[in-house]
Structure 1
């Protein structure tokens, strides 16, 4: 009599949603229901889900656990240790897209994952896109996110790695530079201060050290009538406007109550 085939192991079953919700709630996740839904839809196996839940419960940002973040309708890859794009920064990207014409030369400084650049590539027709970050991990992540758009991503300090031929040609210069005052970094949620690079958070004594550097050199790179845009805190807006004005740019402030976002816009004098 032929031997019977061995019994196949039953397929493991993913834990039910409520069990995942309970584990996330026990870890202090405020939006446990929403996070459970995302984790369950992303995990391929029970073992993978268990690791994801464990990492999230340990305090890693949800986006780093999932490997992506949603930003202006796009799925942006987010690697471990890379700054997570905030929803409020969608306002910065939208203001920049509104000012960019077809074929615009666009530079995204302090690009992080490249979320702002990716949004501009999706919303502006045929942009010539450059992105820069000082963090090697962010540069690698941004290259993945901007590859399809043909974006050039370079590693270095602000304007340093940009090609010299861009001087005086940039139509839209976006900088999502760090603007948290040094003394306030320790007050940030643990998932930010423990799992995101300090260079993406710490803006110096009043939060504007990096933005002042960006602003001071912006006129050298902007085309006539070109625009500098950066995100800042509501209480920092007046000082940021002063820095923009001192650099010789016309300054204005745009704000979104819905997203709790404040953006300062500096415009270079156009040719008469």
Structure 2
């Protein structure tokens, strides 16, 4: 069997490589990286944590624009391989730590981060056939599209530093509303949402 063919795309000034096993970078998600950069100016020192990293474009652009270190959590070996190569291509490999692990085991008790970004799968299972070019594991979010997002929310609640901020990507405002109760139960609150043609970004902070 021949090796997967790497494709490359420009993403906010970075060259990002990926193949058919990894979700292709979406240009609109540069907004997620740049929101993290906005927040960085008033955040405490420390690395950015990225959950559900994929090929790494969102976190790498955030690291490039903030000057911060980056800790990436990604369970897929294929995606983690592209992430490492993309970090090296961008000259960021010395500032990027890749944890190829499940979300539930990748972080140590007591580890906290001032900034978190997460891009979980958020397509509802009944709709994934509309996106045959995308790998199923990268887009299938379960019956309501929020299965992995809920796990991300739990991780954020445990590992967000005091006065920290997290930017979570979802598919719609209705999904944001559905997560609202869980966020409150975890002492997180939705501070702001920003809507785009292809998705929604949500700013989460610890409740006062």
Asked if Structure 1 and Structure 2 have the same fold, meaning a TM-score greater than 0.5 normalized by the shorter chain, the answer is yes
Q: Give the TM-score taking structure 2 as reference length.
A: 0.86
Question: Superposed, which structure 2 residues align to 1:1-272 within 5 Å?
Answer: 67-101=7-41, 103-125=45-67, 127-147=68-88, 148-149=91-92, 150-162=95-107, 164=108, 167=111, 169-188=112-131, 190-192=132-134, 196=135, 198-234=136-172, 235-257=174-196, 259-269=197-207
- RMSD between aligned residues: 2.1
Greater Cα radius of gyration, structure 1 or 2: 1
Structure 1: 5+ residue stretches without partners:
1-63
Instruction: Return the structure number with greater relative CO, CA threshold 8 A, min gap 6.
Output: 2
Task: Return the structure number with greater helix share.
Answer: 1
Q: Give the TM-score taking structure 1 as reference length.
A: 0.67
Aligned residue-pair number: 198
Distance in 2 (alpha carbons) for counterparts of 1:157 and 1:146: 21
Instruction: Give yes or no for contact 1:91–1:261 (8 Å, CA) kept in 2.
Output: no
Task: Return the structure number with greater strand share.
Answer: 2
Instruction: Give yes or no for contact 2:117–2:166 (8 Å, CA) kept in 1.
Output: yes
Structure 2: 5+ residue stretches without partners:
none
Instruction: Give yes or no for contact 1:90–1:116 (8 Å, CA) kept in 2.
Output: yes
Instruction: Give yes or no for contact 2:48–2:63 (8 Å, CA) kept in 1.
Output: no
Distance in 1 (alpha carbons) for counterparts of 2:207 and 2:78: 36
